[in-house]
Chain A
Amino acid sequence: MKTFLYKTAKIFFIFLLFNTVLFFFSRINYYEGYKKYPDKNFKTFIFSDSHGIPIGTLSEKYNVFNFSAKSDSYFDMKRKILYLLANGFNIDTVFITVDDYTLSPYREKVNNFDKSSIYSLPFEYENYYTYIKGKYLNYYLPIFQPKVTALFKSYLKAKLKDIYQPNNTSLKMELWCDYSEDERALKAEKRIKSQFPIKNKSKKLENTLLEIIHLCQLNEIELIGIKFPVSSSYVDVLKSKSYGADKIFTTNGLRVEDYKEIFLFYPAYFSDQDHLNSRGGEIFAARLLAN
């Protein structure tokens, strides 16, 4: 038994060592920019996915905290709102994205539900064990986290490519406005195809959005929907496609601020078909929050 335990302990030690490496890796590369703990003075918040990221910390000069994160879904945004309420934040206003694709079924898989568990509360789980597992074990044992594994693999592949192909010109970044009209249309088409995989919206996401609305009503929070600016190529391809998150807002008597087409003639403000760059983010932040 002693020999067996000794050898198993050795394996366990190697496993722990590797997990430690992965833990620090995940803190730098996976949770980077995600773990945000706003100051209690903030009363207004922006919740969005990657569309809200270009605003960055510019909103803070308007006393608005930008809680946006790439690939955040309504599941994640609801968690964050609950976290703020549970931690004594006095929330006045919440700006939340109601872009056309936010109720897309693809968001059920492509989201930050594993990451946003750092904001989760015990009552969201079936029992205390699943709470500990969801919030702490998944964070401290990233060896069991599929997304961290996938990221680590990509990181290693990229490092190997750097070693064997150090002057890789294919990685050169191109500006959105440098692309031709046809190239932009193609990129927009590819993007929209992934955002609108099927006709029907996600019922789960719709229910979560309704829960957010209800939560804000209960806590007397002014909830405002935002439609973020997109490029003209994107608008041309999108046409009337929409899963109707904005309609849910208007049906519930909530305000929607539609900025979708404000930068149609300003391709220089975009980094790609539907994301602003830093310049565009700066101008948009001023436009959105100055009033």
Chain B
Amino acid sequence: MLFNSIDFAIFLPLVFLLYWFVTNKNLKLQNFLIVAASYLFYGWWDWRFLSLIFFSTIVDYTVGVKLNNEENNFKRKALLWTSIFVNLGFLGFFKYYNFFQDNFITAFSFFGAEIKTNSLNIILPVGISFYTFQTLSYTIDVYKRKLTPTKDFIAFLAFVSFFPQLVAGPIERAKHLLPQFYKKRTFYYSKAADGMRQILWGLFKKIVIADNSADYVNQIFNNSADKNGSALILGALFFAFQIYGDFSGYSDIAIGTSRLFGFDLRQNFNFPYFSRDIAEFWRRWHISLSTWFRDYLYIPLGGSRGRTWVKVRNTLIVFIVSGFWHGANWTFIVWGALNAIYFLPLLLTNKNRSNIEIVAQGRFFPTLKELLLMILTFCLTVLAWIFFRAENISHAFSYISGIFTKTLFEIPEINNLRRALVTLIIIGFFVIVEWLGRHQQFALENIRSIKIQPLRWLCYFIIILCIYFYGNSDDTIEFIYFQF
């Protein structure tokens, strides 16, 4: 069920009331309710995939327990590889089978051989890319003895299937989330109120920013051959805000919902469009995924130690695999590679950790240099997003070449230009609010510092009105990251 649906509006209060009024006295009951609610939530998409997540959970729980009791290195490795094989096997089959088959056939036909196969009509289970990585991190940490495996099967079930973050992250580490299932949660007003604020802000980002941008993105990208340069630029710009609003909005709703139940999830987006270079961007965008790849792929490969060619190789591998994680299409691989090309000069000149603290720390305005760097970084990411959104590589290239023509300076040829301008103005206000809140976990967190309650409620009211009146009422627009 979508977060912005009538189903979730009924589901959440019911689970909330049961959780805090019926099961709050007993830890096992609390966890059991989380499991039941999470399986109901996941089964709402497609009940057939419940068996998949349950099987994956059983395998990793069992592997964890056995790893704890096993001292033989060979057997420990075999257990680890069992978990990797099962998890990545499911992911590989459901997500990449047709991709590999199609490319295999294309490669063979290049040499004149024709292979006839049947494409399987495979439905991608929602959230599989997220929960497989989450459980994999558990078994890898247990193998490396960084984590004691749990013997509490219900807690582990709850950790894997926790509904707020199940279908689109954040990808939580067992070290951070699992211990929270060992203690009975207590209700804290401030945490729950913060959670509600974060949910509200997430809904604003999704319904107002992302879904309104989506209209123009679809219109422009689906007919890019007929659009002039200025329309194409606008399409790319809207997509940058669609994907940010959509994905970070989901993360905000997930984190906010978790807070309602007494859980703390990790921040997943830290105002990435205010980054001054690509390295900083990747420390702020989809943090849970980029740190996963850093810890479980980049560092085991050697990280940034060793010779230059090793650094280059490791960087390319991580970014390309990260791109591939997003989907079975060459466009994602190119997107990843492009980001690697952006990143490498910084890494090789040891400038990848130049900008650690948030921009304009302690100041209201950025310096001119900071502003120019932010704009440059933003432009580079927008260029890469074109590959992310395009249907295929040739579509991406023709889109980019369409931008750099003399039509770049014409009035954009899009339907409902006036509404597009209104959307851009709203995005402008949104950027200002995000800028003002950039030191917080999420932009609206600062609002609790407004001591005058009616004023605070007026702010909430304005946001709710914006969601209602400027939100895109098309209920068919799903969250983008559900397709991953």
Contact = CB atoms under 8 A, between A and B. Distances in A.
Given A1-B20, A1-B189, A153-B469, A141 B474 contact: no
A163 B7 CA distance: 39
A278 B7 CA distance: 43
A150 B473 contact: yes
Interface in B166-208: 187, 189, 192-193, 196
Contacts of A150: 473
A137 interface: yes
Q: Is the interface of A mostly helix, strand, loop or mixed?
A: helix
Interface in B375-427: none
Interface residues of B, number: 15
Contacts of B473: 146-147, 149-150
B178 to A, nearest CB: 26
Given A133-B6, A133-B7, A144-B9, A4 B189 contact: yes
A3 B475 CA distance: 33
B444 to A, nearest CB: 15
Contacts of A143: 468
Secondary structure dominating the interface of B: helix
A3 B9 CA distance: 21
Interface string A135-166: 00110010110110110010000000000000
Contacts of A141: 6
Contacts of B5: 144
Nearest to A18: B468
A15 to B, nearest CB: 9
Contacts of B475: 146
A137 B6 contact: yes
Interface string A1-31: 1011001100000000000000000000000
Contacts of B468: 143, 149
A3 B190 CA distance: 10
Contact of A4 (B6, B7, B192): B192
Contacts of A133: 6-7
A49 to B, nearest CB: 22
Interface in B12-47: 20
Contacts of A3: 189
Interface string A58-76: 0000000000000000000
Interface string B444-484: 00000000000000000000000011000111000000000
A7 B7 CA distance: 22
Interface string A168-206: 000000000000000000000000000000000000000
Contact of A1 (B6, B187, B196): B187
A143 B9 CA distance: 12
Contacts of A7: 193
A133 B7 CA distance: 9
Given A143-B468, A149-B468, 12 more contacts: A3-B189, A4-B187, A4-B192, A4-B193, A8-B196, A133-B7, A137-B6, A138-B6, A144-B5, A146-B474, A146-B475, A153-B469
8 contacts: A1-B187, A8-B196, A133-B6, A143-B468, A144-B9, A146-B474, A149-B468, A153-B469
Interface of A: 1, 3-4, 7-8, 133, 137-138, 141, 143-144, 146-147, 149-150, 153
Closest 7 CB pairs of A and B: A146-B473, A144-B6, A149-B473, A1-B187, A4-B192, A4-B189, A150-B473
Interface of B: 5-7, 9, 20, 187, 189, 192-193, 196, 468-469, 473-475
